[in-house]
Structure 1
C-alpha cells in the first residue's frame, strides 16, 4: 500500500505521539513524563505544523515544524525562519525513506532559514538532514542525560 504524507488532523495527534515514543524507546531513550507532556503540548500548539505518514490505517512516521523564535526558541517568532522540532519514523519502517518524505512536507514556503537539533550519535538522522540540504552550524550542546546534540540549518 502506498504511503501518504499529509497534515495531521486533531485526531491523529495521539498516534503521532505514539510513533515519537516508539522511535525513542527503540533507540534506548525512555522519555520522562515531563518530556512526554512537553511533546504533547508542542503537537497541539496552534502554530505547529504537524505532518503524518500513513500506510493504510497504520501511522508510520510523523514530524513537527514551528516558527523559528528569538532567544533559542523562547522569544518572539522571526519572520522567514522555521524550526524542525521532530521527525520520527516507526521503528519497523526505519530505512524505508519515510523520514525524507516527512521532512520534505515540513518545509514551509517563505522560510528562508530552517534549523533543527539532532543527537550527534544519531548517524541515520544526520544523513537524512544532510541529504535534505542541512549543514552543521557549529552549535552544540549536551542533554541532561549526557548525550551531545548539534544544530543544523538549511538556507532557502
Structure 2
C-alpha cells in the first residue's frame, strides 16, 4: 500500500471511498453533500492524500489551512486542519488511516507547518483511537454541533 498527494483524477475515487464509509456507518450522504465534498477536494488550498492498494484508492484524507475562530476567521500560520479521514470499509482496521496521517504530517512539516488539528465525534471511539495512535492528544476543547452531538478537538505539534 502506498500514499500520495492526490491528483484531480483521483477525486472521484476519493469521493467514492468517503461515500462508501458513510454508507457503511449508516449515514448515506445526500447528493448535495456529495457535491460539497467534491468541491472541497478541488479547492486550490486543499491537501488531498489518497492511499492506494492493488491500484485502487482505498483511503482518503482532506486537510486545509487552519483558521482562527474555529474556521471562520483568518488563516493561522503553521496550522493545518484535517477536515476528513475516510477508509473504504473493506480496508478498515488495516492501518490505512495511520498511513494517511503520516503522509500528511510529513507533507505539512516540509511546508513549514507546525501543528495539525482535527475535530471528531465524542462517541467516535475508532477515530479517537486512530488519532491517539498517530500521536494526537485531546486539546480539551469541545463543541456542540447539534443537540446531542458533541465533538472534541485533537492536536499534534510537528
Q: Same fold (TM over 0.5)?
A: yes
Which runs of structure 2 are paired with 1:1-156 in the superposition (5 Å)? 3-107=1-105, 108-109=108-109, 110-144=112-146, 146-156=148-158
Change (3 A) 1:50 1:145: farther
Name the TM-score, length of structure 2 as normaliser: 0.90
Query: The residue matched to 1:129 in structure 2 has which SS?
Result: helix
After superposing the two structures, state which structure 1 stretch, 36-45 or 86-95, moved more.
36-45
After superposing the two structures, state which structure 1 stretch, 71-80 or 140-149, moved more.
140-149
Deviation at 1:38?
2.4
1:100-121 residue CA offsets vs partner (Å, 9 max, x unmatched): 0001111211221211011122
Count the aligned residue pairs: 154
Query: The residue matched to 2:113 in structure 1 has which SS?
Result: coil
1:34-60 residue CA offsets vs partner (Å, 9 max, x unmatched): 332322221111001101111122211
Query: The residue matched to 1:143 in structure 2 has which SS?
Result: strand
User: Which runs of no fewer than 5 residues in structure 1 stay unpaired?
Assistant: none
Name the TM-score, length of structure 1 as normaliser: 0.91
In the TM superposition, structure 1's runs of 4+ consecutive aligned residues that sit over 4 Å from their partners are: none
1:57-105 residue CA offsets vs partner (Å, 9 max, x unmatched): 2211010111111221122211111111111100001100000000111
Does the aligned pair in 2 maintain the 1:48–1:65 contact within 8 Å? yes
User: Which runs of no fewer than 5 residues in structure 2 stay unpaired?
Assistant: none
Query: The residue matched to 1:106 in structure 2 has which SS?
Result: helix
Query: The residue matched to 1:137 in structure 2 has which SS?
Result: strand
Q: What is the root-mean-square deviation of aligned Cα atoms in Å? A: 1.5
State the distance in 2 between where 1:73 and 1:126 align. 21
State the distance in 2 between where 1:32 and 1:117 align. 22
